[in-house]
């Protein structure tokens, strides 16, 4: 979009979204890696209360902490590693449609999975994990940014 078109329409290309998704994805890698570590060490150093409604140990050791035998923390780590790879700025500017399609598909799957996990926490486990909530929030913000950017016209170099 040229600067003249920007002045006429008042819309900016929102190029900052690629950097924001990269930063959020890296933060997600860090939190998911921590949760994965905690899963495999039986939560011995889990920095979260373990009583009442906020009970990370109850959530991370529940039957819902695995899907088909795979720890959901590990699935989250894979999701954020993939999102980090798809969020590097050159992949936002490529002429190929595949990175944007993969990014959109990934965040849609991520949000659906987050909805399932929130349902499990609230209605099955009766506890909330603060670290998991951070992952859920990061996924929802990533979803919003990717959808917003997808809805806008392509960026010009």
Residue 91 is part of which domain span? Answer: 13-150
Percent of the chain with pLDDT over 90: 61
Whether residue 71 lies inside any domain: the answer is yes
- Mean pLDDT computed over 10-33: 85
| 1 found inside a domain | no
Q: Taking all residues of the chain, what is their mean pLDDT, rounded to a whole number?
A: 86
Please write the tens of the pLDDT for every residue from 33-89: 999 998 888 766 667 777 788 888 889 889 999 999 999 999 999 999 999 999 998
Domain count within the chain:
1
pLDDT band with cut points at 50, 70 and 90 for residue 156: low
Domain holding 57: CATH number?
A: 1.20.1440.130
Residue 157 lies in a domain: no
Q: Which residues of 24-59 are buried (b: 16+ CB within 10 A; e: fewer)?
A: bbebbbebbbbbbebbeeebeebebeeeeeebbbbb
Q: What is the pTM of this model?
A: 0.85
Judge whether 79 lies within some domain: yes
């Amino acid at each position: 979009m040229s600067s003249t078109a920007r002045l006429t329409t008042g819309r900016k290309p929102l190029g900052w979204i690629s950097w924001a998704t990269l930063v959020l994805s890296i933060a997600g890698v860090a939190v998911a890696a921590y949760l994965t570590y905690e899963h495999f060490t039986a939560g011995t150093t889990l920095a979260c209360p373990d009583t009442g409604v906020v009970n990370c140990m109850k959530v991370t050791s529940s039957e819902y902490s695995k899907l088909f035998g795979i720890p959901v923390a590990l699935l989250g780590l894979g999701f954020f590693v993939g999102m980090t790879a798809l969020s590097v700025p050159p992949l936002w500017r490529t002429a190929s449609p595949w990175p944007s399609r993969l990014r959109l598909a990934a965040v849609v799957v991520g949000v659906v999975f987050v909805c399932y996990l929130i349902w499990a926490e609230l209605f099955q486990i009766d506890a909330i994990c603060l670290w998991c909530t951070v992952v859920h929030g990061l996924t929802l913000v990533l979803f919003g940014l990717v959808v917003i950017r997808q809805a806008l016209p392509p960026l010009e170099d």
